[in-house]
Structure 1
Amino acid sequence: MELKPRLVAEALREGFVAARICRPDAVPEVPDRLAAFVEAGYHGQMGWMAERMHWRGNPAALWPEARSVIMLAESYTPDHDPLTVLDHPEKGAISVYAQGRDYHDIVKKRLKRLARWLIAEGGGEVKVFVDTAPVPEKALAQAAGLGWQGKHTNLLSRDWGNWAFLGAIFTTLELPVDPPQAEHCGSCRACLDICPTNAFPAPFRLDPRRCISYLTIEHKGPVDEDLRALMGNRIYGCDDCLAICPWNKFAVAASDMRYHGPAARAADLAELAALDDAAFRARYAGSPIKRIGRDRFVRNVLYAIGNSGLSGLRPAAQALCEDPDPTVADAARWAVARLSA
């Protein structure tokens, strides 16, 4: 039996929802798009995007010996409606992907097992990537036929919606490729219209500097005041554009229950505001949330408190007005002022 169908079957056994293949040079449009993105300043404080443009824009340059890229999707579909927490201003909304164990660890282990299987069955050399290397995963995934980049710029599929992590296996084996996936968004604007901060200047184009996921995770220092009020109670990431996508009617259940952390769905803002560094690290050990550190996380919590309209949360913010971190102190004073108005 040919190697490729056995590879796809093994990927599904590992828990991936789909596996498709393309060549490393299958995305010639990426360099110009990335250069325009950076030139417009859309990358904000994500300096690594500019620094690694040569690799991120040209997957073939990342590992010249590679002949095929196996793109894989792993579902993390929530078992609840992630938009309901937005109606509870005393709670903090955490993006679905960060409510459980860190996906980097889980997906990479699956990729490594699949890569070892590939070497044993077909030979060659491999490298695996999950989000942390300069790989244009979404463009490669579309080129491989895994799905298409929707108007919200995330990958989605008619077979499994848009709740999926992407992984890549580069290999020196020359495997048969799959046809690219066409775009099927049609006239739908649901993801664009729901965005709280109007972060989409046009369909299929995102300005991360206005995106709540960027603001709560990547942005260091104070957030512009005109954006703080639009963040609501979103304290780590934002799922609005993903959750509203109508293609999610075909969403596939998450393959690993470790992605689901019910306790992280909606935590009390007052409790989170009281976290010191040690308590923050203990609470979010093994979670992607740990990466941003206590200060940035509590800054986000204080913005949510300021947006809550709940005077009962004022003492939690008042207690941090003299926090050693100036950004936290600024957020606390802003929240107190908002709740005192």
Structure 2
Amino acid sequence: MVRTHDSREILPVIREWAGELGFDELGVARPALARDEQHLLRWLQDGRHGTMRWMARHGVKRARPERLVPGTIRVISVRMDYRPPDLEADDAILADRRRAFIARYALGRDYHKLMRKRLQALAQRIESSVGAFGYRVFVDSAPVLEKALGRDAGLGWIGKNTLLLNRHAGSYFFLGEIFTDLPLPTSDPVADLCGSCRACIDVCPTGAITGPGQLDARRCVSYLTIEHEGSIPEELRPAIGNRVFGCDDCQAVCPWNRYAQPTDEADFHPRHGLESASLVELFRWDETTFLKRTEGSAIRRLGHERWLRNLAVALGNGPADPAAIEALRERLDHPSALVTEHVQWALTRLVSPASGDSVQSTRRWSHPAPPAQDRPR
């Protein structure tokens, strides 16, 4: 292990290396998350994690980094911007019920491997300078409270939508960590700048943000379309609209995302036209096509069955076009009961004259400006 004064001297160099590897910011936190542990335990006790049983599986280890990696005394936290440049506005896609909305993070290649490889390269650079040291790299791949660690590393504050917000970059970024035994100096926390704003709470299509910093995953569109493995509750299906993989509403409306930086990382740019694809086109993908088009994508872990489930809901929320009805009818004999249940629901909405709510009204939003005294300078 390096001496304390050596670790202080090397931190600016580590930040420089991180920038060279494509990370947009780096900070250092102590592994002290007692307050967050209590919040996590209450959230689990209330059942707000839904069917994400893995959230409860590791108990308090998630909030105690030194249990996950013995010897950990610091956590290096990094962020990497992911929003592609020149994207069509989210609300324009959401207003066109013939098109599919896919969360912006999932339009390109899966970030896990890319960030893990670069974090490993960063750790190896540190090792080449200070000698052997204890560390382990994480990118959303273990029981880690990454947002809390990012907050404590000075990368931002946790907003009312439960996401990490940065005054210079908004929230469109990925997080990664290096747990280490290096006694690096820790970063200063930043102030919570949400103020009285409640735009994210008000815009949530399913009311999943039940209060500032309070998320009921069971109602969250991202949970329902990505994490949830079973049938989507019927009462929530209309509010999902044409969101087929995730939801960015609480980010799109956040005033701090006026300052979100577009990424130059080519791997995060859209692939296969997913940023503007039609629902019918995607619904007609067979499993072979799905696996081919989603190779290297975060969407692939969803699987073809749940992909069709989500698209059936979106089609049922759209206009009663002959092409949509025909595509749905072609799936009525699908071997999956999960698929056929959602297909039947969609057809009932499209062909029934009583389905007056089959096409929801769509809201448009703009970013309210942050208070003048809080704006980035």
State whether TM-score is above 0.5: yes
Q: How far apart are residue 54 of structure 1 and its match?
A: 2.3
TM-score, L = length of structure 2:
0.88
1:94 to 1:250, Cα distance in 2 relative to 1, 3 A: same
The residue aligned with 1:247 is 256
Q: Which residue of the other structure, out of 27, 30, 33, is the alignment partner of 2:36? A: 30
Bigger drift between 1-10 and 33-42 goes to 1-10
Is residue 26 of structure 2 the alignment partner of residue 15 of structure 1?
no
Is residue 74 of structure 2 the alignment partner of residue 68 of structure 1?
yes
Distance in 2 separating the partners of 1:13 and 1:222: 45
Contact 1:16 1:255 in 2 (8 A): no
The residue aligned with 1:276 is 286
Q: Which residue of the other structure, out of 319, 324, 334, is the alignment partner of 2:330? A: 319
The residue aligned with 2:92 is 84
Distance in 2 separating the partners of 1:210 and 1:284: 26
- 1:39-118 equivalences in 2 (<5 Å): 39-79=45-85, 80=87, 81-118=89-126
The residue aligned with 1:237 is 246
Is residue 141 of structure 2 the alignment partner of residue 132 of structure 1?
yes
Distance in 2 separating the partners of 1:271 and 1:249: 32
Contact 2:71 2:134 in 1 (8 A): no
Bigger drift between 215-224 and 271-280 goes to 271-280
The residue aligned with 2:340 is 329
Q: How far apart are residue 278 of structure 1 and its match?
A: 1.4
Distance in 2 separating the partners of 1:305 and 1:219: 19
Aligned length: 340
When Rg is computed on C-alpha atoms for both structures, the one with the higher figure is: 2
Bigger drift between 63-72 and 80-89 goes to 80-89
Q: How far apart are residue 306 of structure 1 and its match?
A: 0.2
Bigger drift between 83-92 and 42-51 goes to 83-92
1:70 to 1:255, Cα distance in 2 relative to 1, 3 A: farther
Distance in 2 separating the partners of 1:290 and 1:231: 20
Q: How far apart are residue 331 of structure 1 and its match?
A: 0.7
Distance in 1 separating the partners of 2:335 and 2:29: 50
Contact 1:200 1:207 in 2 (8 A): yes
Contact 1:295 1:325 in 2 (8 A): yes
Q: Which residue of the other structure, out of 302, 305, 328, is the alignment partner of 1:295? A: 305
Distance in 1 separating the partners of 2:125 and 2:92: 42
Q: How far apart are residue 249 of structure 1 and its match?
A: 2.0
- 1:81-230 equivalences in 2 (<5 Å): 81-123=89-131, 124-230=133-239
Structure 2 residue identity aligned to 1:74: M
Contact 1:160 1:251 in 2 (8 A): yes
Gaps (5+ residues) in structure 2? 1-5, 353-377
Structure 2 residue identity aligned to 1:95: A
Contact 1:56 1:136 in 2 (8 A): yes
Distance in 2 separating the partners of 1:282 and 1:77: 23
Q: How far apart are residue 300 of structure 1 and its match?
A: 0.2
Which secondary structure state, in structure 1, belongs to the residue aligned with residue 34 of structure 2? coil
Give CA deviations for 1:197-231 in whole Å, capped at 9, x if unaligned. Answer: 01011111111100000000011121111101110
Q: How far apart are residue 118 of structure 1 and its match?
A: 1.0
CA RMSD for the aligned pairs?
1.2
Give CA deviations for 1:245-302 in whole Å, capped at 9, x if unaligned. Answer: 1111222221412111151112111121122221110110110000010000110000
Q: How far apart are residue 311 of structure 1 and its match?
A: 2.7
Distance in 2 separating the partners of 1:9 and 1:138: 23
Which secondary structure state, in structure 2, belongs to the residue aligned with residue 302 of structure 1? helix
Distance in 1 separating the partners of 2:320 and 2:118: 44
Distance in 2 separating the partners of 1:255 and 1:53: 38
1:122 to 1:83, Cα distance in 2 relative to 1, 3 A: farther
Which secondary structure state, in structure 1, belongs to the residue aligned with residue 211 of structure 2? coil
Contact 1:311 1:340 in 2 (8 A): no
Contact 2:201 2:210 in 1 (8 A): no
